[in-house]
Amino acid sequence: MNNALLTVQSLATYFPVKKGIFSRATHDIRAVDQVSFSIEPGEALGLVGESGCGKSPLARTILMLENATQGNMFFEDTDLLSASPAQLRRLRRNMQVVFQDPFASLNPGMTIMELITEGLIVHGLIQRSKRAEVAATLLQEVGLDPDMGNRFPHEFSGGQRQRICIARAISTRPKLLICDEAVSALDVSVQAQIMNLLMKLRQELNLAFLFISHDLGVVSHFCDRIAVMYLGKIVEIGSAHEIMHNPRHPYTKALLDAIPKVGSDKSERLRLPGEIPSAKNPPPGCPFHPRCRFAIDSCRTTPPTLQPCERNTKHQAACHRRDDTLQ
Amino acid sequence: MKIRLSEPAKNVARRFFRNRIARVALAILLILCISAIAAPILSPHAYDHQNLDLGPVPPQRGHWLGTDDLGRDLFTRVLYGGRVSLAVGLAATMVALGIGVTYGTISGYVGGRTDQMMMRIVDALYALPFTVFVIILMVVFGRNILLLFVAIGAVEWLTMARIVRGQVLSLKDQTYIRAARSLGFSHMRIMLRHIIPNMLGPVIVYTTLTIPRVILLESFLSFLGLGVQPPMSSWGLLIRDGARAMESYPWFLIVPGVTLCLALFALNCVGDALRDAMDPRHQLKA
């Protein structure tokens, strides 16, 4: 076994579409389709893609909140999909999550102290009597007033709540933190503060990240590697620098061109015509070909797989024309 | 650092007692309960002592809430009737609450096929005529007041289970439930700590609405001869008798009617205040 922290192999999550009174599944929505990647300890992998491309279902599948349809997942050496419930429960403290909506992620009936220490108590990591003390330390760690433990979530602003969510997520000292659009719901100045906090924690705790966002700017700033998702599949993966400066997949290029730049000529942008196709009924061949300006005949028939770009195995793209110069 | 939240119950109590209406309502309920329990001490008359020579008299010295047509002291009868009504109201509601919340939570939380099965059972029981059900119970187990609690509770929990299931369905997809699952909490813990406390509002409101209905249901059963038997009485029975003699002897109706209204009003206030006290968001408006 390699020394990766999280290994995902050909993972797929399908949601059955039910119809009729007898709830017969007629077909599937392929939310996550044949996704493979790995995250090394301490590494931050960014996951980008437009809405509805399957980023969140992928995160939920990794967190075992959704049942994987097929594939394999390993956390260190443990097979997540065949682990016993008890094993899984112990494992969960190593893999934590911060969700997008800080207003819905905190139980409104519990105090901040109860919220952020519940995991520690359930996993038997601290004594109940040490609760207040530990809560104060955790609050300090995420930049909140340590005396706020007795307050309730509704007394806090969005940014503060997100800090509380982060405090809860890091309370069990996980090795991997999954941020599912963790800063998207916050306004820009607060976003920057939360990103700085995550960076600080990443260094202090040697956390690995799966950082999901639709904002390439934030992701490139924070992550070592970036994976681009389209219609449930990873279409390009590589180091943040490669993806930002030498994108090989036309979809990645379009995403990058969509970032507004000062003084740029709008006509030079690569625009995407049309909508993201329905995952119920994905197009044959390359799922991106109906929107792709560079599509050739083989794109319409043969689905491309992730292949190294310019012989660089660390930069892979699922495109037949990945090594062509496309303008 | 002051720890006030390790004891959430204490907190709820503090918020509850800060509400003046809640204090008054709770006092009224307590007075009614205590006087019902202490009925033999409080009243100089026996509830079944008839005084046919006296007949129905309006409130006066010696019978300060008047007497009924058999000359029985109305105050005494209201006190004794309260024993039955309050006991049935509370006990049957507790039965309904216990079964309904457990059943509804499990059904909603587990979901899928289990949920479908459990709810079809509820539908089937709904279709069962209540009176027939009670009569069967009485015939099989004989008539006794405990059975009355069970019979009413066994019918009232159905609606409670439906309400609870609906609440659980909307709560279980909340992000904080996902967060709790990804923290590795057991299903039991998630249900007890994260789902049930957050749906108490509607449940408490429904509970306070159930108690009056149960009290009236008891009087209906007694009317059919399936509940309390004369000379024992309950508020529901007294009101029914009073309604018949309303035109000639209005105090027959007024005395138990006002008592029942007072009890129900106090119950509703207490339920309302309890719901507010359990929701920490109300703290700001206090």
CB contact under 8 A, A99 and B175: yes
CB environment B208-238: b (16+ within 10 A), e (fewer): bbbbbbbbbbbbbbbeeebbbeeebbbbbbb
CB contact under 8 A, A154 and B4: no
**Is pLDDT at B48 greater than 80 in this prediction?**
no
pLDDT in tens, B165-180: 999 999 988 899 999 9
**Is pLDDT at B134 greater than 90 in this prediction?**
no
In percent, how much of chain A has pLDDT > 90?
39
CB contact under 8 A, A107 and B194: yes
CB contact under 8 A, B179 and A108: no
Please state the CATH superfamily assignment of the domain spanning residues B10-283 in this structure: MetI-like (1.10.3720.10)
Q: Is residue B283 within 8 angstroms of chain A, CB to CB? A: yes
Of B179, B198, B280, the CB nearest to A152: B280
Q: Is residue B6 within 8 angstroms of chain A, CB to CB? A: yes
Nearest-Cα distance to chain A for B132, in Å, is 33
Among the listed ranges A166-175, A249-258, A269-278, B103-112, which one has the minimum average pLDDT value? A269-278
Give the number of other CB atoms < 10 A from CB of residue B99.
Answer: 17
Beta bridge partners of A44: A209
CB environment A175-184: b (16+ within 10 A), e (fewer): bbbbbbbbbe
| Residue of A107, A116, A137, A162 for testing the chain B interface, max B β-carbons within 10 Å | A107
Nearest-Cα distance to chain A for B8, in Å, is 9
In percent, how much of chain A has pLDDT > 70?
94
The predicted structure's pLDDT at residue A166: 95
CB contact under 8 A, A122 and B176: no
User: DSSP letter at A276?
Assistant: P
Mean pLDDT computed over every residue of chain A: 87
Residues in B closer than 8 angstroms to A108, CB to CB, are: 198, 279-281
Q: Is residue B10 within 8 angstroms of chain A, CB to CB? A: no
CB contact under 8 A, B280 and A108: yes
Nearest-CA neighbor of A220 among A200, A239, A201, A202? A239
Q: Is residue B279 within 8 angstroms of chain A, CB to CB? A: yes
Residues in A closer than 8 angstroms to B180, CB to CB, are: 107, 118
The predicted structure's pLDDT at residue A106: 92
Q: Is residue B113 within 8 angstroms of chain A, CB to CB? A: no
The predicted structure's pLDDT at residue A264: 65
Contacts A–B by Cβ distance under 8 A: 92
Chain A: residue whose CA lies nearest to B4 = A150
Q: Between the CA atoms of B91, B94, B98 and B103, what dihedral angle is there, to the nearest 10 degrees?
A: 90
Of A92, A132, A146, the CB nearest to B184: A92
Average pLDDT estimate for B227-236:
78
Among the listed ranges A300-304, B55-59, B73-77, which one has the minimum average pLDDT value? B55-59
CA B187 to each of CA A59, A85, A127, B109: distance values in angstroms, whole numbers, following the listed order: 21, 11, 22, 9
The predicted structure's pLDDT at residue A239: 93
**Is pLDDT at B285 greater than 60 in this prediction?**
no
Question: Long-range contacts: B244-248, Cβ < 8 Å, 24+?
Answer: B245/B56, B245/B69, B248/B56
**Is pLDDT at B286 greater than 70 in this prediction?**
no
The predicted structure's pLDDT at residue A19: 67
Note whether ipTM > 0.95 here.
no
| Interfacial B residues in 164-183 facing A (CB < 8 Å) | 174-176, 178-183
The predicted structure's pLDDT at residue B126: 87
The predicted structure's pLDDT at residue A121: 92
What are the residues of chain A with a beta carbon less than 8 Å away from any beta carbon of chain B? 60, 63-65, 88-93, 95-97, 99, 101, 104-111, 113-114, 118-119, 122-123, 131-132, 136, 146-147, 149-150, 152, 154-155, 165, 168, 172
Contact by Cβ (8 Å): A17, A28? yes
Average pLDDT estimate for A231-236:
90
DSSP H/E element including A223? none
pLDDT in tens, A185-226: 888 889 999 999 999 999 999 999 999 998 888 899 899 999
Chain A: residue whose CA lies nearest to B1 = A147
Chain A: residue whose CA lies nearest to B196 = A109
Q: Is residue B280 within 8 angstroms of chain A, CB to CB? A: yes
pLDDT band at B2 (very low <50, low <70, confident <90, very high): very low
Rounded distance between C-alpha atoms, residue B88 and residue B144, angstroms = 12
Among the listed ranges A4-8, A152-156, A188-192, A271-275, which one has the minimum average pLDDT value? A271-275
Of B6, B182, B193, the CB nearest to A96: B182
Please list, in sequence order, all residues whose beta carbon lies within 8 angstroms of the beta carbon of residue B38, skipping any fewer than 6 positions away.
none
Q: Is residue B117 within 8 angstroms of chain A, CB to CB? A: no
More confident: B140 or A8: A8
